[in-house]
Structure 1
Amino acid sequence: MSLNLPRHALAVVATAVLVSLTTGCGGGSTKAVCEDALKAFQDYSTQAAAGAGNLEAFNTATAGLAAKLKDLSGKADGDLKATLTDLSTTWGGIKIDVSNPTAATELTKLTTQATDATQRLAKNCS
């Protein structure tokens, strides 16, 4: 089974949030949390790209992003907190298992959820 398309889609989502977050990061503590979220996605993009072809490295990078987003949600309030929590849950649910025949379908669904959540994050940080 080829999972190149879903992995590519996840990389596109990460890139989209980077572009969205660089347009503005709000003010005060929101700005610091948004800047940290931007850094987390930048690090993830680098790690995920380095793990291309290595599913374990890709899964480790994705789990690391989920943990960082969860940590950041604890430093945020209101909509930003809820969005970071949703992102953490979504990215935490992404684990590629090539032995699972439904992995590609599950990743497509998670990619859609991640896209929605990253758009909300960009809105909260603008």
Structure 2
Amino acid sequence: MSITLRRHALAVSAAAILVSLTTACGGGSTQAVCQDAVKAFQDYSTQAAAGAGNLQAFNTATADLATKLKDLSGKADGDLATTLSELSTTWGGIKIDPANPATAATELTKLGTQATEATQKLAQNCS
């Protein structure tokens, strides 16, 4: 997979995440946790795009997001806590082997699908 293709795939995934989450934060007691989740995804988007040519940097950004989401799940209640925990597990399981960049296309496709599903769940919990 070329670096250009990787950057494109990352940009698409990041854009899907941000568009879904920007409109997700409703009111109520979940608002602060939801806003923190949006910030975590914004930070991830920036880090992932910056690491597009460096698979180890991409893996680090993904692991950092998983940690942030796990921390946020501890601050949330009910369905939001469950969703954040599931998101943490999902992102924690995504790792691209720098020694085998050919698998990057499959992993990035999986990430795009999971990002869309995850942000839809998060939006439901935050609205």
State the TM-score, normalizing by the size of structure 1. 0.83
Q: 1:27 to 1:9 in 2, by over 3 A?
A: same
Q: 1:79 to 1:20 in 2, by over 3 A?
A: same
Q: Which letter does structure 1 place at the counterpart of 2:122? A: L
For 1:1-126, what aligned pairs fall within 5 Å after superposition?
1-2=1-2, 5=5, 8-100=8-100, 102=103, 104-126=105-127
Separation of aligned partners in 1, 2:15 and 2:104: 22
Q: 1:96 to 1:125 in 2, by over 3 A?
A: same
- Which is worse superposed, 73-82 or 100-109? 100-109
Unaligned runs of 5+ in 2: none
8 Å contact kept, 1:30–1:76: yes
Q: 1:99 to 1:24 in 2, by over 3 A?
A: closer
Q: Which letter does structure 2 place at the counterpart of 1:62? A: T
CA RMSD across the alignment = 2.1
Unaligned runs of 5+ in 1: none
Note the C-alpha offset of 1:5.
4.7
Note the C-alpha offset of 1:104.
3.6
The alignment partner of 1:29 has SS state of coil
Q: 1:2 to 1:93 in 2, by over 3 A?
A: farther
Q: Percent identity?
A: 81
Q: Which letter does structure 2 place at the counterpart of 1:97? A: D
- Which is worse superposed, 1-10 or 49-58? 1-10
Separation of aligned partners in 2, 1:27 and 1:64: 27
Q: Which letter does structure 2 place at the counterpart of 1:76? A: A
Separation of aligned partners in 2, 1:57 and 1:35: 25
